[in-house]
Amino acid sequence: MLARLDSLPGVRTARTDSSGRFFWLSLGPGADPSLVATAAGTVLGSGARPLPEPEAEAQLRARGTGDPWFDAGEVMSLSFIESRLLSVRFAGEASRRFRLLPEQRERVAEALRTELFAAMERVHREGGRESSGWIYEEWPALAAAAAARCAPHLPPEVVPELGALLPTLLAR
């Protein structure tokens, strides 16, 4: 998404906040803000709208206190952070439900991280998606792959239960 925004005439740099809900476009010299806004709206889709100036200023003001805004080269880092957080959270839930040993919990976390990283890298390589909703569509297959990846390291009775649990942990 950011690469497509960066390629628009008049855009010097496109950035997104860590939620992926807000985009900040820095314009190049002589760029027509209304033409850029129209082109960006086409890239972002029908739900996109420019923020009123006070709201935009409030969003950007937080940068001064450490709220990161990512450009196309940095946004992969955000996807990796999100993947790591999801993998640890979901492995923790599996550990609580199935009373996994610490090393088993870590195997589940690593399997999840591996699958999530691969999916994020693929999506970024393909140029992103119009919506972050893609992960919900792909999650059942990613969860199944993660369960299969860590199955050799878990008690056999836990494997089918883990396979049933993981797809339920990421819901809209």
Kindly report, residue by residue over 58-82, the tens digit of the pLDDT. 999 988 899 999 998 898 999 999 9
Which domain does 24 fall in, by range? 2-70
Q: Apex CA 40: angle with CA 134 and CA 34, to 5°? A: 160
* Among 22, 52, 70, residue at a domain's last position: 70
The model's pTM is 0.82
Question: CA torsion 115→121→125→130, rounded to 10°?
Answer: 80
- The confidence score (pLDDT) of residue 129 equals 80
Same domain, 116 and 58: no
Tokens of 107: 């195997």
Domain count, the chain: 2
Same domain, 85 and 147: yes
Same domain, 87 and 134: yes
- The confidence score (pLDDT) of residue 127 equals 80
Same domain, 58 and 80: no
- The confidence score (pLDDT) of residue 147 equals 98
What stretches in the chain show pLDDT beneath 50? none
Same domain, 61 and 108: no
